[in-house]
Amino acid sequence: MSGWQAYITNLLDSSQGIKRAAIVGTDGSVWARSDGANEFRATETELKNFVALFNNLNDVPSKGADLEGIHYIVPRTEENLIFGKKGRSGFFAVKTTSVPYCNHNRWMSAFSVLVL
């Protein structure tokens, strides 16, 4: 999905606060990710577990979330958002329900994960 890669590149170029980013399917597959010095390094297992957090957001603050080998506390969740914090950095993730898939007339759910 090369269009998603362009979106990630543009996002990083337009914001100094976002260090790494990815768009992840509901199955944990990576559609696009930042690369190079700012590579988004979450493993397949981490992403599958992370995606599953959205199934029961009420439990996430008590458990936290793991991405890129880092355990984040989760001070807040909302209907489709998870906010994580570790020291002076953190992440936020949003689950969408209407992402256009390629150029087809299909819509899929996906996640955007931004590491600050």
Q: pLDDT tens across 30-59, in order?
A: 989 999 988 999 999 999 999 999 999 999
Residue 36 CB contacts under 8 Å (≥ 6 apart), including other chains: none
Spell out the domain ranges in the chain: 1-42+80-116
Query: How many other CB atoms are there within 10 angstroms of residue 63's CB atom?
Result: 12
The CATH number corresponding to 1-42+80-116 among 1.10.20, 3.30.70, 1.10.3470, 3.30.450 equals 3.30.450
Helix (H, G, I), strand (E, B) or coil at 15: coil
Q: How far is Cα of residue 18 from the mean position of the Cα atoms in its chain?
A: 12
49-90 pLDDT per residue, tens? 999 999 999 999 999 999 999 999 999 999 888 999 999 889
Euclidean distance between CA atoms 75 and 17, whole angstroms: 20
